Amino acid sequence: MTVTMTEPILAVDVGTSGTRVALVVADQTTLVKEPASGAASWPSSVCLADEGFLVGTPAEVRKRSMPRRFIDGPRRAVDAQASMWLEHREVTGAEALTAYLTVVGNETRQLHGLGPIDRLTLTVPADYLPGDPRRDMMIAIGEAAGFRDVEIISSAVAAALDPRTDDNLPAGALVLVCDLGSTWTTAVVQVYGSHTVQLAHESSPAGRELDALLINDLRAEGRLWLEPMLAAPGDTGLRAYYEAIDFARRLKHQLVDTDEVVDHLTPLTPPYKLTRAWLDAFAEPALRWLVDSASNVLGTVGASGADLAAVVVAGGGAYLPSVHAALRSSLGYGQTGAGTPEALRVAAEPELAVLRGAARFAAGATGRTVAAEPSRWRVEPTSWEIPGGRARLVRWCLPPGEPYQAGSVLAHIRTPDERVFELTAAQQGRQLGQQASAGDLVGPVLVAATAKDPMTLQRQPPPRRRHLESTGSWLLTPDREHLAECDRAARLVRLRAIADDTVRAEFRPDHDAGPNSQGRLFVDPDGRLAVVAWNTDGFISVWDVETGKLNARFRDPGEPQRVLVDETGWRAAAEGQTKAVGRYRRISMTLWDLRTGQRIDRITDDRWQQRFPEFAEQSRAAGFGTAMVSPDGQLQASVAEGLDGIAAVQLQDATTGQELFRVLGGTGQQVRVGFSADSRHLLANWESNERSLIDVWDV
């Protein structure tokens, strides 16, 4: 089912002690506060009352009267795949968490006046790796809570996607995530937008162990008054234990804004003091683990601190100043990469970082659609009905691309009663694709993609998908997935996706075009798109298209009339005004380094291009040329001479050389050809003095 732009999605970060919730509608994310408390964090608490499950603050309130029916952190039971006893009833972690999410969903709908919320995004611990049955369990829990479509995301990946900390991270950047909640996790994550992946991780109960140390100190300091309370029989002792845990956590959180706190467990108990220095001392074992673990996960992926684009610290533990000092020291600040001060990224409200990243991931659901495959010009399906409706594919008899005759055996299948059938061709052809592999179950129909015969293709030319016009120039990017357009004055660069013709990016170079300004796109030695622009005042500028950075700007005093580029050596040749020498006119060329803007040489030679053939007015590193073979090796496009010397585009079968399609250009046009990366589109770039055209055919 296609996700509409306004369909609400609930994002839930289920933590051990606190759960955070956000509502995502289109590109708007709203934090959902707990109705009972108005707090941003819902207590991860469940209490089984006589009237049913209570969750969050209502469960916290009821635990005082029925502590044996109370649990906090129900997801821990899911982690352990265990059940719990709530007084006299056994409850599974899945049952408790289902009840929790059901209430969260209902409360959100009532707060925001919504109808059904069908989509849910849940965070899961970093150690829920692909294939872990707990991932399926979490999806089943979400569905049991009333959500039709449930997606899950690793908490480490979500933290890396937090929009408050991932700005300016290039595609493929390595990020060290330190998620410091009740469980402490370090993970190396590689950032690719919605395709961000977790490469390595380690986890520790360091957060819970820190709370345990605080409670032990509280018991030691209050042994004369606290121990008798904890030792009280029945519900009284259990109630005191829960209150002691809440008290220790509350003091820890108060130290975020002060160096010392003093409070009373109850109005009748003596004061207890906790200082920042003591908290740092209690945290020292956790910090040792954090430092060692960061080193371990980096080593697992063969990286070091210098390879990191960022270190993201999330969770309540991010408030500990000692955490930042430990990471700075262990990752070698002062070097490159993580050594820069900007590399350590701690957003405001770091306990919400995972939720913000999960909400961003959820918002991307609007783009997670898969369109049906359109029919292709040179492909037709060949299908076989499977006897009995089901069989196992034994083998394909011919590899893709191999021609065959009518009656040829193309595959063998084995039915459940162990009979082997031959699948034969009804007519001659050539297989282009096989949708199943040997060993796969197939049926009731098996389909293979088959090439149409050349005579059919000649009678039915390929459909032209689009016809684009520019007064500037076009470049087919080296990855063959985008068309880049640059207007004649290099004022605007547009990047279009070949697959759907959408404009993916626009770049407007910031320069004074000046008189007779010109510019073209080239590919630098690193494979990056660059704009080289010049004018008759002599200024030459070079921009990186992806980043928009001005890499070089310099002035050629010869007032160049045209500029040629050597993409391999990344040099420019600026042709100045010709000068009369006796009866002859000499061309003056100045060679420039496009990286530094330094002059390399000055040449006055009419035949200089014979000596330097690597310089050209158009990009030679791009995907256009005079003869190109499709990436799948099945088609060949070339520039041919048509009637009266007019250029033509010719498309041939690469195996047989038989012509399949030919189209003529206009008078005075030059043409170059190319293929898209998936071999599904043939492109032709027609250029004349007045304009530059792009034709795209579906092939």
Give the tens place of pLDDT for each residue, 547-590. Answer: 888 999 998 887 787 899 999 999 999 887 655 544 455 677 88
What residues form DSSP beta bridges with 664? 648
- The values of phi and psi at residue 5, to 5°, are -65, -20
Domains and CATH numbers, the chain: 9-164 (3.30.420.40), 176-345 (3.30.420.40), 379-452 (2.40.50.100), 511-611 (2.40.128.650), 623-698 (no CATH)
Share of the chain above pLDDT 90, in %: 40
- The values of phi and psi at residue 177, to 5°, are -105, 130
Edge-to-edge strand list for the sheet holding 550-555: 518-523, 529-534, 539-544, 550-555
Rounded to whole angstroms, the Cα distance separating 699 from 694 reads 16
Among 51, 96, 97, 46, which Cα is nearest to 69's?
46
Contact 403, 429 (CB under 8 A): yes
Rounded to whole angstroms, the Cα distance separating 685 from 692 reads 7
Among 367, 376, 450, 454, which Cα is nearest to 408's?
450
Q: Which helix (H) or strand (E) holds 359?
A: helix 353-363
DSSP readout, 225-261? THHHHHT-TTHHHHHHHHHHHHHHHHHHHHTTS-SEE
- Peptide bond between residue 515 and the one before it cis (omega within 30 degrees of 0): no
Looking at residue 503, what is its pLDDT? Answer: 87
**Would the pLDDT of 653 be above 80?**
yes
* Distances in whole angstroms, Cα of residue 387 to Cα of each of 398, 413, 417: 22, 10, 11
pLDDT in tens, 397-414: 988 878 888 899 999 999
Looking at residue 335, what is its pLDDT? Answer: 40
DSSP readout, 646-679? -EEEEEEETTT--EEEEEE--TT-EEEEEE-TTS
As a whole number, mean pLDDT of residues 84-95 equals 86
Question: In the numeric block, which tokens belong to residue 244?
Answer: 């002691």
What residues form DSSP beta bridges with 53? 48
Q: What three-state secondary structure class fits 217?
A: helix
Looking at residue 9, what is its pLDDT? Answer: 93
pLDDT in tens, 185-232: 999 999 887 678 999 999 999 888 888 888 888 888 888 888 888 888
SS percent in the chain: helix, strand, coil, step 5? 25, 40, 35
Number of H helices, E strands in the chain: 13, 48
Looking at residue 586, what is its pLDDT? Answer: 65
Question: In the numeric block, which tokens belong to residue 561?
Answer: 């009339």
Report the chain's C-alpha Rg in angstroms.
Answer: 34
Chain mean position to CA 582: 64
pLDDT in tens, 358-373: 999 998 877 677 666 6
Contact 91, 74 (CB under 8 A): no
Rounded to whole angstroms, the Cα distance separating 564 from 567 reads 10
Looking at residue 337, what is its pLDDT? Answer: 44
Looking at residue 5, what is its pLDDT? Answer: 47
pLDDT in tens, 255-265: 777 888 888 88
DSSP 695: E
Q: How many CB atoms lie within 10 A of CB 167?
A: 9
Of residues 521 and 1, more confidently modeled: 521
- Evaluate the CA torsion angle 114, 118, 123, 124 in order and state its sign: positive
Looking at residue 34, what is its pLDDT? Answer: 93
Query: How many residues appear in the chain?
Result: 699
Among 292, 271, 294, 280, which Cα is nearest to 210's?
280
Looking at residue 336, what is its pLDDT? Answer: 40
Contact 658, 444 (CB under 8 A): no
Looking at residue 333, what is its pLDDT? Answer: 54
What residues form DSSP beta bridges with 31? 22
- pLDDT, averaged across the chain: 86
Looking at residue 150, what is its pLDDT? Answer: 92
